[in-house]
Amino acid sequence: MTKISIVGAGSAFTQYIVVDIANIPGLGEDVTIGLIDIDAKRLEIAKQLVEKVISVKNNGWKVVASLDRKEVLPGSDFVINQIEVAGLQTVKYEYEIPLKYGVKQCIGDTLGPGGLFKTLRTVPAWLEIVRDIERYCPQSIILNYTNPMSAVTLATVKSTSVPVVGLCHSIQNTSSQLAEYLGVPYEELKWRAGGINHMSWFVELTHQGKDMYPVLKEKMKDPELLKKDPVRLDAMAHLGMFVSESSGHFSEYIPYYRKRQDLIDRHCGVGYNGGTGFYANNWPTWRAENDRNIMEKVSGEQELDLTSSNEYAAVIIDAVVNNTPRVIYGNVPNTGLIDNLPSDGIVEVACMVDRNGVHPTHFGRLPEHLAALCKSNMSYFELAVSAVLNKDKEMAIHALMIDPLTAAVCSLDEIKEMFEEMYEAEKDYIPELK
């Protein structure tokens, strides 16, 4: 028997993750999919979707769903975390208050003022769930999809011995994009990456033994290509290597692209390519559209796509249950994996997976200038998580003070004032910090 439980089942990820799981060969019929959410309506939508997938696949699997995780977690072999904590209620605060201080975020879910307050909201709620995982299914493996990925995974590692790996799709997506930009078949592109989530660096990029970085630098002279990925390509031209997260996300993680409007106009495109306010202005609409699309798939108005995605959750489940060794890129504790990054932080490296679980591989050293950019963000995550674990407001303020974008725009006085204004606005959603 295999039991896979999804916490935050109302998330858009569920429709892809469950199809991926249903496509795993050899799981047999004795499989239970557990669904947990605190929103009854969205839980019911997720349940109907999963039942539809199972019905179409005709694999005889069981589905259980509950608002009470204690009814679902017992016996779980895998727990997939994809929770969102008070996101709709806070998304405007986390964009509009920093904007008053000149901090112009595109996404705001990982670093910056938005990423910090998402950490302060999300980690306490998640750690309550972790306590129940320890109680009801300590033998499970936690697969974390919730952002801020590094912060949530770090908090989990600091709080439990239950194994956890943080999962993202940025490595898969970026390697595919690089093959497209270079005009070579994906299966022929050889690459190696390492760093931290949303800031892993492609330190090797070759095709049939040829270094493809000179080719990429030549191709980016085409304004049409540069328009597709403006921040990452410009950063690659200066820093020497391509990074794993989209231009819009990445523009927030370093101090160079969003500190003045002329730089935003010059380097940042629209939407995910760096548009100011893109996430805050669109996410509530996306969420409603996602729910509507799922219901149309359940009713048959939309075709249910049963093609596997490039997410890693099902790859891990397949490797562990069926002992089919695979390689993924996971976010794991830096137990000597990347030599020049902090040993108490979370890094993203290639990992082997088999029936014994997830086995991270040694990466070596990053080029020091790239390691320095990662270290800055790792210190931010360390302070943000420690602020939650110690209920320490000063630590949280210090996290914002060393945030690359915020520090590039604001004085220390302004950062503290901004923090206090955001903290007051979100006091109903954040456990008290002292």
pLDDT at residue 283 in the model? 86
> Residue 215's CB: how many other CB atoms inside 10 A?
16
Q: Please state the φ and ψ torsions of residue 320, each to the nearest 5 degrees.
A: -75, -50
CA distance 143 to 145: 7
CA distance 212 to 226: 17
Please list the pLDDT of the chain residue by residue as tens digits (434 residues): 999 999 999 998 999 999 999 999 999 899 999 999 999 999 999 999 999 999 998 788 999 999 999 999 999 999 999 999 999 999 999 999 999 999 999 999 999 999 999 999 999 999 999 999 999 999 999 999 999 999 999 999 999 999 999 999 999 999 999 999 999 999 999 999 999 999 999 999 999 999 999 999 999 999 999 999 999 999 999 999 999 999 999 999 999 999 999 999 999 988 989 999 999 999 889 888 988 888 898 888 999 999 999 999 999 999 999 999 999 999 999 999 999 999 999 999 999 999 999 999 999 999 999 999 999 999 999 999 999 999 999 999 999 999 999 999 999 999 999 999 999 999 999 999 99
By residue count, the chain amounts to 434
Beta strands in 47-160 (DSSP E): 62-66, 78-81, 141-144
Q: One fold for both 2-87+113-166 and 88-112+167-276+311-434?
A: no
- Specify whether 207 is catalytic: no
pLDDT digits (tens, 9 = 90+) for 51-72: 999 999 878 899 999 999 999 9
Q: How far is CA 17 from the centre of its chain?
A: 14
Q: Please state the φ and ψ torsions of residue 433, each to the nearest 5 degrees.
A: -105, 140
Q: What angle do CA 331, 332, 334 make, to 5 degrees?
A: 125
Tokens for 33?
Answer: 């999919």
CATH of domain 88-112+167-276+311-434: 3.90.110.10
Q: In which residue are the tokens 């591989």 written?
A: 361
Q: Read out DSSP for 177-241?
A: HHHHHHTS-GGGEEEEEEEETTEEEEEEEEETTEE-HHHHHHHTTSHHHHHHSHHHHHHHHHHSS
Positive/negative CA dihedral, 212, 217, 218, 221: positive
pLDDT at residue 264 in the model? 97
- Return the H-helix or E-strand segment holding 357: strand 357-360
Cis peptide leading into residue 163 (ω within 30°): no
CA distance 359 to 381: 23
pLDDT at residue 14 in the model? 95
pTM for this prediction: 0.97
Contact between 81 and 129 (Cβ < 8 Å):
yes
CA distance 79 to 35: 10
Q: For 331, left (φ over 0), alpha (ψ -120 to 50), or beta?
A: beta
CA distance 425 to 94: 9
2-87+113-166 CATH pick, 3.40.50.720, 3.90.1150.10, 3.30.9.10, 3.40.50.1820: 3.40.50.720
- Find the catalytic residue in 169, 198, 359, 398: 169
Sequence ranges of the domains in the chain: 2-87+113-166, 88-112+167-276+311-434
Helices (H) and strands (E) in the chain, counts: 17, 13
Amino acid, single-letter form, for residue 372: A
- Return the H-helix or E-strand segment holding 119: helix 112-136
pLDDT at residue 168 in the model? 97
Structure-derived torsion over alpha carbons of residues 235, 239, 241, 243, reported in degrees to the nearest 10: -50
Residues in CB range of 332: below 8 A, 6 or more apart: 153, 165, 166, 346, 347, 348, 349, 351, 358, 360
CA distance between the termini of the chain: 46
CA distance 295 to 55: 15
